[in-house]
Chains A and B, each alone.
Chain A
C-alpha cells in the first residue's frame, strides 16, 4: 500500500511537470497577454514596461523555472485578468464544478447500470433496442447541442428550469453549495443531465456487454444448475464481476468530467473551473491556465490511485495477492 502511494506520488510529480512544461512551450502561440491587458491606445513604451513587470520579457525557460519555484513554495501566482490570487479563484470555483460532477456521476451510475443490466438480460427486447438506439444519439451529439436543446425546451418553452447559473447558493464558509436551496437544486438539473449524458451512455453500454459475456460463462451456468435464486445470480455473481471495468471507466470519467466540464459550464454559465479556464484562455491569463492544468494533472493521478485501491476492495483475488 505504502509502496503504491510512493510510486504514485512520483508519477504525479512527473505528470504535472510534463503538463506544465508543455503548457509553457505552447503559451507563446496562445497570444500576448500584454496586448490584452493594456489600454487600446497604449504606447509601445507602456506595453514594454508592463511586459517587463510581468517577467514576460524573459526567455521561456526562465519563466518556467520561476513558476516551478513559486509552486514549490505553494504560491500559484496571481491572475493577470483580475489581479487576484489564483489559489483563491480556484477555491471559489471548485465547489461548483465538484457538485456538478457529483450529480453527473451519480446520474450516470444510477441510470446507466440498471439500463445496462436490463438490456443484457433482454438483448432482443423492444425496450432494449430502443435504449441502444437512444444511447447512440447520446454518445454522438455534441454537449453544446444537447445543452442548448435542453435550455430551449425546459427554460424557454416551458419556463420550468433556469437556463443559466447556480441559482441561490448557501455559503458554508469554505464551500458554497446549491444543494440546500430549491433554486440551487433546480439549477443543477439541466447542466447535470447534459454533463452526464456521455458517461451515462458509456457506462450503460459497458455494463451491457460485460453482463452478456459473464452471463454466458460456466460459473453462472453452474450457479443456475445449483438452483440459486436468479436475483442472487444476476446481482451478486454476475454484476459484481461486470463492475470491475465500470469502476475504472467511472474513475477516468470523473477525471474527465472535472477537467472537461468546460463546454457544459460555458453553455450554462456554470461558475466553475471550466468557465474559469475558458476565460483564462480568451484572456491569455497564463497563471490561471498553468494552475488549472496542474490541478487537472493532479486530479487524474489521484483518481487513478483511488481506482487502483478500489480494485482491491472489490476483487478479493487482488486482496489475497497483496497479503
Chain B
C-alpha cells in the first residue's frame, strides 16, 4: 500500500517537474488491458507488445520487422543444438543494475520452469549455460531454425531484482503464488514503468539511460484501456486521448471526416480463412459420406465466393483478397500461389455436379462474432454465396469463448479461423499448427482430421532445416499444396486501423504491435 502511495507521489512529481520542459506525453487507448507485467505469465500478444516498452529481448524486430540485435550483439551456431550469444556491454536495468549473463540465465530458467505459463514460447530450448560474463549458450533438443524468432519475444529480467523481491519463481495459479513481478517491472527498455493499475491505466516515462539512441521524442506514455468502442472513440474526439488502436471499423468513416484526426491503416498479418471437416461424415448429414473430402467440392465452394463484394461491401474496401494462408511479409509466402480461385457460380455448380452433388448438400457453418473484424457479417455472406450454388447451410455464430472450444473439439463442418503466425512471424507456424496431422506437438489447430502425407513430411523436415533457402522452399511447397487441393478456403488479409490526432506520428506494423519507441508527438 505504502509503495503504491509512493508511486502515485512519484507520478505526481514527475508530472509537475516534466510539465515546463515541453512534456511530450502520448495518451493512447485500446480495447483490452495488459493482463500482467510478468512477461512469462501470459501468452497474449497485446500484453507482450505493451511490456516490450519496458523489457527487452536478446534480439528484436526492427522498423521493417526484420530481426536485429538488441541485448545480444551477435550469435553463432556452435553446433546444431548449441547456439552462442554475445551480450551487449554497458546496458543497465532501470534500477541501475548492470546487465550480464547471469540475468539471461536466470530469466530463461524462470521461463522454462513448469509453472511459467509462457514456457511454450521457447519449447525447443532445453537449457542455458553461462560461458562467461557476457556470453551464454542456448541448448536445444534438436536442430531448430526459428530460435531467433522465438527469442524476439522473450524478455530479459534482472536476476538481483527477482531475488530481492522473491520473484525468481513465476506466479502459479495452482499453488496460489502471486509474483511481485506481475504488478512491477524492472527492464532495460526505452521506457520505465511508473505505475500500473489494472483497468485504470499504465504510465511510463522515457528511460534517460537507454543503451540505444531514441527515435521517439516522448517524455511519457499514458495507456488507458477502454472496453467500450463508443467511449474509446468519444475519448479521442474529446481530446482526452492522442491515439486509439484499433479503431472500430464502423467508426473509421466518421473519424476520417472529423477535423484534427486521421485514421491510419495497413494490411495486418492476420489472414481469415474457412476450414473444413475431413472426417467420414458431416455433422449436418450423419450417416452419409462427407462431400467435403472431395477436392472438387471444396473448389466449388471456393468458386462460389464473390471476393470482390466481400471486400467492398463488408470490409469497406479495406481488406486484401488472398489465395494462400500467409501474408506477404511472412517467410514461406509465394506470390504465384497467392491467387484466389475466381468467382464463378456456374463453374462451381458444374464441379458439384461432377462430384455427384448436383442437388447440393447440407453443411454447418460455424463462426465467431467477436473475434475477427466483421466475422459474423462475412459468414452471413458466405452462407448466401453457398446457398446460391444449391447448398443448405446451417449457420451458427457465437462468442469466441464458446466458439473456439467447439472448433477445437472438431464439432464443426466449415468454420472460420484467423491466423497471423505470431509471435514467430514465420510460415512454419501454419504448417505445424494448422496443416500437419494432429499428433502430439503437431496439428494443434487441425482438429478436423486433415491429413496429407507430403505436408506431414515437410512439417518434419522444415522443423530441423537450418538452411534458410531450403527451409523457405519447404514452407512454400506445403502452402502451395494446401492451396492447390483447397484444403482451406482463404478469404482475406484483415486491416489494422488506428486513429490519431493531428501532430502524432506513429508507424504501424502488420503484426499489430504498438511500438511507441518509434512515435513522435508535437
Contacts and interface: CB of A to CB of B under 8 A. Distances in A.
Interface of A: 29-32, 35-47, 50, 53-55, 75, 77-78, 80-85, 88-89, 92-93, 144, 148, 151-152, 155-156, 159, 162-166, 171, 173-174, 266-269, 271, 275-276, 278-279, 281-284
Given A83-B173, A83-B178, A271-B198, A43 B231 contact: no
B227 A279 contact: yes
A244 B117 CA distance: 55
Given A47-B408, A82-B35, 19 more contacts: A32-B401, A35-B401, A35-B408, A41-B429, A44-B438, A44-B443, A54-B174, A55-B174, A83-B36, A83-B172, A83-B179, A151-B230, A155-B238, A171-B1, A171-B8, A173-B1, A267-B230, A269-B228, A275-B199
Contacts of B80: none
Given A41-B432, A151-B234, A163 B240 contact: yes
Contact of B401 (A50, A152, A268, A282): A282
29 contacts: A31-B399, A35-B405, A36-B404, A37-B43, A40-B422, A41-B429, A41-B432, A43-B120, A44-B440, A45-B441, A46-B120, A47-B444, A82-B42, A82-B182, A83-B173, A84-B183, A151-B234, A151-B238, A164-B231, A165-B224, A166-B200, A174-B1, A267-B228, A269-B226, A271-B197, A271-B199, A279-B227, A281-B401, A284-B401
* Closest 4 A/B residue pairs (Cβ): A31-B401, A32-B405, A41-B433, A271-B199
B25 to A, nearest CB: 15
A9 B42 CA distance: 40
Contact of B227 (A42, A78, A275): A275
Contact of A92 (B198, B408, B422, B443): B198
Contacts of A152: 234
Size bracket, chain B contacts: 35 or more
A63 to B, nearest CB: 13
Contacts of A81: 35
A174 B1 CA distance: 7
Interface string B170-213: 01111010110011000000000000011111000000000000
A259 to B, nearest CB: 18
Contacts of A266: 227-228
Contacts of B444: 41-44, 46-47
Nearest to B442: A43
Given A164-B231, A269-B228, A85 B176 contact: yes
Given A35-B404, A43-B444, A165 B201 contact: yes
Contacts of A40: 43, 419-420, 422, 433, 445
A84 B173 CA distance: 8
A164 B240 contact: yes
A148 B201 CA distance: 21
Contact of A269 (B4, B225, B405): B225
Contact of A83 (B2, B38, B399): B38
A158 to B, nearest CB: 9
A164 B224 contact: yes
Interface string B14-38: 0000000000000000000101101
A238 to B, nearest CB: 43
Contacts of B4: 171
A269 B182 contact: no
B214 interface: no
Chain B CB within 10 Å, residue with most, of A35, A39, A144, A271: A39
B455 interface: no
Interface of B: 1-2, 4-5, 8, 33, 35-36, 38, 41-43, 117-118, 120-121, 171-174, 176, 178-179, 182-183, 197-201, 224-228, 230-232, 234-235, 237-240, 399-402, 404-405, 408, 419-420, 422, 429, 432-433, 438, 440-445
A160 to B, nearest CB: 10
A95 B176 CA distance: 24
A272 to B, nearest CB: 8
B231 A32 contact: no
B240 A269 contact: no
Contacts, number: 169
Given A38-B43, A83-B38, A155 B235 contact: yes
A50 B404 CA distance: 16
Chain A CB within 10 Å, residue with most, of B200, B224, B441: B200
Contacts of A44: 438, 440, 443-444
Contacts of B240: 155, 162-164
A35 B199 CA distance: 23
A77 B177 CA distance: 10
B149 to A, nearest CB: 12
Nearest to B408: A35
Contacts of B404: 31-32, 35-36
A78 B226 contact: no
Nearest to B119: A46
A41 to B, nearest CB: 4
Contact of B174 (A32, A35, A53): A53
Contacts of B117: 37, 50, 83
Contacts of A53: 173-174
Contacts of B232: 164
A163 B238 contact: yes
Given A35-B404, A275-B199, A279-B227, A164 B41 contact: no
A148 B199 contact: no
Contacts of B200: 165-166, 271
Contact of B121 (A39, A50, A55, A275): A39
Contacts of A82: 35-36, 42, 182, 198
B132 to A, nearest CB: 33
A267 to B, nearest CB: 5
B21 to A, nearest CB: 21
A278 B402 CA distance: 16
B199 A267 contact: no
A201 B225 CA distance: 32
Nearest to A49: B114
Contacts of A37: 43, 117
A183 B442 CA distance: 54
